[in-house]
Each structure stands twice: as C-alpha cells, then as structure tokens.
Amino acid sequence: MFGLGLLARAARQHQLQCTVSRLFSSCRPLAAATGAVQQAQPREQLQYDLCIVGAGPAGLSAAIRFKQLCKEDNRDLSVCVIEKGSEVGAHILSGNVFEPRALDELFPKWSEQQGEGQAFADLPLRQKATADRFYMLTQGSSIRLPNPPQMKNRGKNYIISLSELTRWLAKHAEEQGVDVFPGFAGKEVLYDWHNAVVGVATGDMGIAKDGSRKPSYTPGVDLMARLTLFGEGARGSLSQSLMQHYGLREAAGASPQTYALGLKEVWEVPEEQHQPGLVVHTVGYPLDNSTYGGGWIYHMEGRRVSLGLVVGLDYANPSLSPYQEFQAFKRHPLVAATIVGGTCLQYGARSLNEGGLQSIPKLAFPGGALIGCSAGFLNTPKIKGTHTAMKSGIVAGEEAFRALGLADDAGKKGPITLRNYADRMEVSWVYQELERARNIRPGFSKWGLWGGMANAALSTYLLRGREPWTLKHRHADHEATKLARDWPPKDYPKPDGVTTFDIPTSLYRSGTNHNHDQPPHLVLADPGLPEVVNHPQYGGPEAKYCPAGVYEYAADEASGRPRLVINAQNCLHCKACSIKDPRQNITWTVPEGGGGPNYTIM
C-alpha cells in the first residue's frame, strides 16, 4: 500500500506540474509503473516577487533599482537574477566604450566617491577616452575621415571591459539583498491557466547525451515569480519564444530584427605601441561594399588593447567567413602596427541587434517584460548599447516596484503586467536617441557602403534625424543569403600564428567548455536538410559563419557524401547559427548551466 500511495502521489505531482507550470509548453508523459517513482522526482520551487533572467547590464540594473526602491519605501520584496554563465560576466562580450549616462541615474554620486575606501573605489571605470579617430580602410592604406558626432567619446566616456563591469554590478546587487544565481540556465518559460508568465524553469543537470540520467543527475528548479523580466541579450532563447508565443513583433508592427556578429580579441601590447584612451573606428576593408560592418581599436588601461570587427549578418555571399574577415582586418597595416610584438589574451564572439527603433517588439506581456538587448535597444550608429540597456533595466525595475506595491496594497497576489513600462521607455532619452538614428543602419542595407555613408551624412548633419520618413528593414538576415552559384568563393590565407590564428587556437583563449555527455543544445528541425539544401545550394554556410568551428561537413563513411557534423562543445553562445541559417533549421537552446565561454576581460 505504501508503494502504491507513493506512486499515486508522484503521479499527481507530476500531472500538476505538467498542467499548471507548463500548461502552454511540452510535457513528458508519466513513465511506466516500473520507473514512475524515479521519473516523477519532484522539482524544487522557489518563490520570488521578481525574477530576472540574465545577469547583464539590463538585468542587474533592474535588480539594483528595484532593491533601492524597496529600501526607500521600507518594503520587503524578493528578487533573484539567474545567469547561464559559470559566473557573472562569463558570457558578456562588448567593445566597449561606455557612456555613463544610465550609471549616473543608478548611482548619482558615483564619480564623487571613487577614492580609496569609498563606495565606488573598485568600480572598473579606469580609462577615460582621450582621443577619437575614424578611418576608411583600403587593402593597404587608411584615409582619416571626420569623426561622426555620434562617435565622439573624448573626455566623457570610458574604455572598459563589460565583463568586469557586470561582475561589479552583481556584487553591488548582492549587497542590496538580490539573490544572484550564476550557472543556472533558464530553459523554459512557465505559464498559468490565464496565459500569464509565472516564472522560469532552469534546466536539469546530469542528463546524458542519450537522455538517460547520470549518477550526477540533479533536477532543475522552478523559479516562480509574480513578475519576470527577460534580459538575456541579443537573440535570447526564452525571449524569442515569448515573441512567438505572444506575437510581440506583430503586435508592435515591428520590422524584422537585423543582427551583426562581433568578433573581439584583447591584446597586451608593447608600451611604445600603447596610447591609453585612444578610440579608433574603421569602415571599408576587409569587407566588400555590399557588406555592412566596421572595426575598432580601443586602447584600454594597463597596455591592453581591445580590437574587433563587426559584420552585419545580412550579407549575401554564403562563402563569407566573419572569422576570416577578422583575421584579414588584423593584417591591415593600421591594425598590425598596434598589436605586433604583443600577446593575444582572450578571444570571443557575440551577435548584436542592429534593427534599432523600427525593430523593437511590444515590450510587456502578462507577467513579464523584455529589457535590454532582448528587446533591441542598441544604438547602431553610436556603436553603444550598454547605456540604453541599463536605462531600460532601471525603468523596468521602477515599474516593477510600483506595480507590485500597488498589487500588495490591493491584496492581489497573481502575475503582474507592467502597463506603464513601454510608455515610459517611449518618452525616455533611449527612444530619442534611437529616433534620431533610425534611418542610418537600413540605408547601408538598401544602398551599400557609399550610398549608406551618403544617407548617414544627410541624416546626421543636415536633417539631424528629423526626416519625415522611416526606412524599414526589408527582410530577416537569413533571407539575404544568396545561392553559392551566384557568388565566387572566397579564399582566405592561412594564419601566421603570430597576429592571426586558426579557430582552435582562438577557441582555447575563450575558455569555452561544455560537458560532452549532454543532450545537444543545437537542434535541427530537419536533420536531413543540411545535406540536401545547405551544402549543395549554399556551399555549407554553417561552416563559415560560425566563429567557433561548431559546424563542419565531413564525408559520410557509407555514402561518401558530405554530412553535417555539429561540435556543440565548441559553442561560444554567439547565436549566429540561429540567425543566419538559410532555412531557419537550427534552434539554439541553452545547454547545462555553466557551460560556454568563460570571459574575464571582454
């Protein structure tokens, strides 16, 4: 009787989880009686007032601002932040020339309290921008151009590591009472009977590649919350599912989001080549005139230099390799003169939003909202998104506190909708920035490099963003990819191992690591499609656009035909595959929490 009672209770508990916590998602059926007790192992549930997915600048700013208001109003409201990286900052990559405008709002007196022993003495804003330069590159030379007003940083902005800044923000959040959980990947959105978000489920740990449970198996946790903010960054898996579930892009009448892939290295260079505070941006070489993008060289403190290349993922040539274009960028005399004789310390890559104002979806939905780059607040012409992400987090944190307080006062305990969040963002300086810049990025897609630069000059200097028209993004990035037969293949030289490197060498510098024995987190909707479409028609673009060597084609032992091999353990979590695959056959999902790159100075 005891065994039957235990089995019945387990079955009821599993059924309750399936019907309530995952009402609008998939649910595994209860196993046969012989293994039902094991299969029904309960998941822990933790209850919070506010749950935030992603310990980036948006999520941490939201948590800090929320707790600041709790302290001011003497309210005891709970908040947690989950982060899929092994530690906060491990998956954070950005240029980064940081504009402190949102930081000024979050901590109004930070610049006055940076002395030894003061509250902000360890804030990692140590190198102010001292000079700006803008170049047009050709294959062997560089032409200095006037610096666009959006890209003027001298004396007001800081060259930073965003990995370091987010770790500092997380420390400050914990000091204010925020529960920060690194190594916990949000696997699934939880909904209630009324189709409102009621939290997120983290992934199980210790599942083998074949789906069986290893001895180390630990079930995930259901983080139940009255309000959930999603700040996963560009192309976040849960954010994408929410946009589809609620039709957020359609509800806003938004253009398709357009993305770029940013590839970055941090170098330690000889003293005589280091110019602390120098900010350099480039256009032109190595990219052709129809491919949007540009490079940067930022001289950080301590003889460190951040350099990288951004490649718009709406490029047409399926044989283009962003990784190899980055190596070509480093061969240019302007770049090589900076890093020759130096040491590459770290490498990484990450997708970024470039759609701007016209690609922002509806921000709020029952039980939650999108913040930061999950929504797409990056200012592309300014090459900055940290300040806008932080501002969105601050506004969302304030509105979360207000809405939860009103609900408590009214005795309401269910999910909350942030009704004023979108309205406040639309009248904020974030939207003012994006409104002025809205026509610059789509101009390059429409007219190429020279037409795009002419349009940017017209918008910036003459019309000042007040054009009576708004250019739209015409299609998603994967739709821009053309057939291989229409483009000559691109051949790239071998790396020299001194300033240019092969992918395995760079990957080692990223600290990337995944448990090999786990279910694949890169899922093909149709496993046979790459062999019959991608390879014969597009030349196997997966092997070229991925900056980590995740995808490669190898001859099948039986048939001799090319077969796609996925090396998921190499994944940098850049999301380029889910964006650029020609038939949208690849779905990026989160692996076990803690897997992926381990950035420390990016």
Residues classed as catalytic:
94, 350, 386, 546, 571, 574, 577
Which residues face 16 on adjacent strands? none
Residue 599 to residue 602: CA distance in whole angstroms: 6
Nearest-angstrom CA–CA distance, 586 and 527? 9
HSE (side-chain half, CA atoms, 13 Å) at 169: 32
Give the residues across from 332 on adjacent strands.
none
Q: Which residue has the tokens 């149709």?
A: 526
Q: 516-548 burial, b for 16+ CB within 10 Å, e for fewer?
A: eebbebbeeeeeebbbeebbebbbbbbbbbbbb
C-alpha 444/C-alpha 453 separation (Å) is: 7
- C-alpha distance from residue 267 to each of 237, 338, 509 (Å): 31, 9, 11
Q: Where are the beta strands (DSSP E) in 461-580?
A: 522-524, 551-555, 562-566
Cβ–Cβ < 8 Å for 156, 168: no
Cα distances from 498 to residues 36, 183, 333, 491, 493, in angstroms, run: 58, 34, 14, 20, 14
Burial grade of 109 (CB within 10 A; 0-12, 13-18, 19 or more): exposed
Give, in degrees to the nearest 5, the angle at Cα 363 between 93 and 439.
70
| CA 415 distance to own-chain centroid | 26
The position carrying tokens 């946790």 is 221
Q: Are 416 and 364 in contact (CB under 8 A)?
A: no
Closest-CA residue to 99 (of 118, 125, 133): 125
Q: How many whole angstroms separate alpha carbon 312 and alpha carbon 354?
A: 8
Whether residue 261 contacts residue 577, with contact meaning beta carbons closer than 8 Å, is answered with: no
Residue 425 in tokens:
């963002």
Residue carrying the six token digits 């506010």? 50
CB atoms within 10 A of CB 152: 15
SS3 264: strand
